[in-house]
Structures are given as structure tokens and as C-alpha cells.
Amino acid sequence: MDSKSGFNRRDFLLASAGTGLMAMVPPGVRSGAWAAGSDAPEKKEVRIGFIPLTDCSSVVMAAVQKFDEKYGIKIIPTKEASWASVRDKLVNGELDAAHVLYGLVYGVQLGIGGPKKDMNILMTLNQNGQAITLSNQLKDKGATDGTKLAALIAKKEREYTFAQTFPTGTHAMWLYYWLAAHGINPMKDTKIITVPPPQMVANMRVGNMDGYCVGEPWGNRAIVDNIGFTAVTTQDIWVDHPEKVLGTTADWVAKNPNTARAMTAAIIDAGKWIDASLGNKQKTAETVANKAYVNTDADVIVARMLGRYSNGLGKTWDDKNAMKFFSDGNASFPYLSDAMWFMTQHKRWGLLKDDPDYLAVAKKVNRIDIYKQAATAAGVAVPKSDMRSHKLIDGTVWDGKDPKKYAASFKVHA
């Protein structure tokens, strides 16, 4: 027996009998993916798709800062052109996982907005940090907020067009929720189009839409380029709302549970690192600004990543509810109530014809079991409850307790 480690010949024989190579390593020196008795990742390299947005940062930094190595994997961030492309590559297996819209995953799970396939969410990648941008032409007409926009649309001088990034996605839901909170029915009073995030600014510049909802840096970019202004941030619609998730197929997780855990732990570590200091956020912004990732000026990203907002109407402020990647584990935990909220909005806007079993679907898709294992490996605490409660911009409270009633409660709906 090795007196220092307490590891003897019997341990070696047990380990070599099929409990896995890492089981031969004494418990005291195991780390990373081997914590809590986990075993070696089934895949050493994982391809994680992303769209050029600030909130891809934890996926990128997990690779750049080599948090992945700690857990025995190599993350290969793969830049994609659109959310539809991300969806298709997840479904057909070209990607192992992706930085992806929360509502896109549920759309695929429920067979709306694309092919039906069982999906899994391993963690939430971030909270907050999106915005609704309106054109300078609307500003010239005095439509600088929701109330004034509603008054302008009510005149019916012309059709007003607004863009979101994917029909079942987060940006569509934030846009619809904000419009409806001001009495505007997005389905009846406006024209809605789908535009990939990096193409939003160019489309607004040539007049293809009057407003859009998208993730940063494409809100701030419109201000820097003097083509639009921020009418509302999404954290003003719902403080600490869920945003992107780490999504994959249920089949992939079934085949690669150890890899799923390792990948999740590495990205939790990256999010924790980003949130740890202003210096880390600065370095992150400079990194993801590169052509390989978001491909824009670093200062366009860093301002809002640090919470330093300017709305293009002369107002500047420090936003304590800017984009969060960790927030003591609250930003990364895949709350069941968050998942259920998106389904209630899909029902509200006619994307779902019938009420699903909201809680059962959320429990199937959101792999809280794997998240908790990954959090243990990363040394991160998990919230006491799988549900949480929030008041949204229109005064309604969402707590996940009666999703069917909540979905049917809105005066403005499809």
C-alpha cells in the first residue's frame, strides 16, 4: 500500500476490472471531471456552436482560458450564421452542443419552429443583456418609448415592421411581451420578420425594419453607428431573466453523460471567472470581439458588458442588472420555472395550439441532475429551489405554480 495515498493492490484490481481508468487515481488527488466519483468523458473534443453575440462569452472563454482541460475535454467553439443553422446542426449531430436560444430548444422539443426531437438543456449561460432597438426614424416621429410607439402605430399611417431572431426564441418573446405591455398586438398591429443577430444593424440601416430585439453587442452597435436607440433593455422587462442556454439533444446526453457533465462544469467555471472582476470582463470583451467570434469593436462590447449604458437619447447609466454569467450560481442554474415561462408565451402567441404538461416537459428537458453534478465538480452551490418568482414589466407575477392559468391570463394575445 502507498501510505500517503491509501491506495493498494486491491484498489488497483477493482479499478482495472472496469470501473474506469480514473478510478485508479486516489480520491484525494482526483479533480475536475473526476470529482464526485464521475468517470472519463466519452468524447475528448466537443464542438459547441455559437452565434456572434456577447453572451457566447462563457463558451468561448472556457476554451480560450482552458477551463475545459481541467475536466479532460477540449471545447471547439464553432461560429454559426443563424439560429436556424444552429437548430439543424444540433438535430443532425454536426454539433455536440450549442450556445442557443432557450425558446428554440423548447420549440424543437414540442415540434414548433422546426423538426420535433427530444432535447436537453444543461445550464443557463446568462441572464439579462438584450435590448429592443428602435430606428432614428421613429425617434424623429417622437416614438421614443412604448407608450409613444403605441400612439404612433394606432394612427395606422403605415405598417410598422419589427424583427426578432427566431420565431420561438427569447428575442421574439421579449419583443412581443414589451409591445403587448403597451397595448400593441404584435400579431395584428405590426409586421414581424426574422433576421439573424449579426444582420440586424445592416437591415435597420437600409430601412427593412423599424425596430428589433437582439442580444448585445447589436443593440449598442446601432447607437454607435447612429441608426437607432435603445427603447428598453430586456432586464427592464424582467430583471434577471433567463437568456441563452447550453443546449443539445437528449440522445447526445444519453450517449455522453460524462462529457455533458465535464462540458457544463467547464462553462460554469468560465462564467464564474468572467463575473469575478471588471478586468476579466474587459479581457473577455477583447477576446470575443475578435473576427473568429463576434467580429466587432471591443469597446462596443465592453461598455454594456460592464453595465455602462447609453440609450442613444442622451441618457447614460450604470446598470446593476447588466449581463450576468454566474451570479453566485443563480445565473447558470436551469430553473424549471424559467423553462415553463417560455412555453406559456408560446401558447399565448398561438405557437402552441394546446397547453402542454408544462412541468413534465421542463423536467424532461432541463437536466438539473447533470447541472448539479457539474456544479459539484466546479465547487459551486446550487439554489435551494428549482423554481423562482419574478414580477415582469406589466406587473404580472410569474412563479411557475399555475402555468395554464398564467398563459390564458393575458389580455393581449394571438
Enclosing H/E stretch for 260: helix 257-275
pLDDT, position 16: 37
User: What is the average pLDDT across 246-274?
Assistant: 98
Question: Beta 390-391 vs 191-194: how paired, if at all?
Answer: unpaired
Mean pLDDT for the chain overall: 92
Beta strand extents in 52-118 (DSSP E only): 74-79, 97-101
Give just the sign of the alpha carbon dihedral 76, 82, 87, 88. negative
| Amino acid code (one letter) for 102 | Y
Are 280 and 274 a contacting pair, CB within 8 Å? yes
At residue 10, what are phi and psi to the nearest 5 degrees? -60, -40
Are 46 and 90 a contacting pair, CB within 8 Å? no
Q: pLDDT band for position 19 (50/70/90)?
A: very low
Residue whose entry in the numeric block shows the C-alpha cell 424582467: 238
Q: What are the cell numbers at 264? A: 457544463
Of 167, 332, 284, 298, the residue nearest 220 (C-alpha):
298
C-alpha dihedral, 279 to 281 to 283 to 285, nearest 10°: -150
pLDDT, position 22: 41
Higher pLDDT, 27 or 82: 82
Q: pLDDT band for position 214 (50/70/90)?
A: very high
Q: Which residues 6+ apart lie within 8 Å of 72 measured at CB?
A: 32, 33, 34, 40, 41, 44, 262
Residues 343-369: pLDDT tens digits?
999 999 999 999 999 999 999 999 999
Q: pLDDT band for position 39 (50/70/90)?
A: confident
Residues 389-402: pLDDT tens digits?
999 999 999 999 99
Beta bridge partners of 161: 191
Are 364 and 314 a contacting pair, CB within 8 Å? no
Domain extents in the chain: 1-30, 45-127+241-297+324-380
Alpha-carbon distance 131 to 316, whole Å? 15
Q: pLDDT band for position 115 (50/70/90)?
A: confident
Tell me: pLDDT of 15 over 50.
no
Of 123, 143, 126, the residue nearest 216 (C-alpha):
126
For the ranges 33-42, 102-111, 295-304, the lowest mean pLDDT is seen at 33-42
pLDDT, position 113: 75
pTM for this model (two decimals) = 0.91
pLDDT, position 114: 79
Residues 306-337: pLDDT tens digits?
999 999 999 999 999 999 999 999 999 999 99
Residues 95-108: pLDDT tens digits?
999 999 999 999 99
Question: Domain 45-127+241-297+324-380 adopts which CATH fold?
Answer: D-Maltodextrin-Binding Protein; domain 2 (3.40.190)
User: What is the average pLDDT across 225-233?
Assistant: 98
Q: What are the cell numbers at 73? A: 475535454
pLDDT, position 317: 98
pLDDT, position 2: 39
Q: pLDDT band for position 24 (50/70/90)?
A: very low
Distance linking the first and last C-alpha atoms of the chain: 71
Tell me: pLDDT of 203 over 70.
yes
Q: What are the cell numbers at 38? A: 464521475
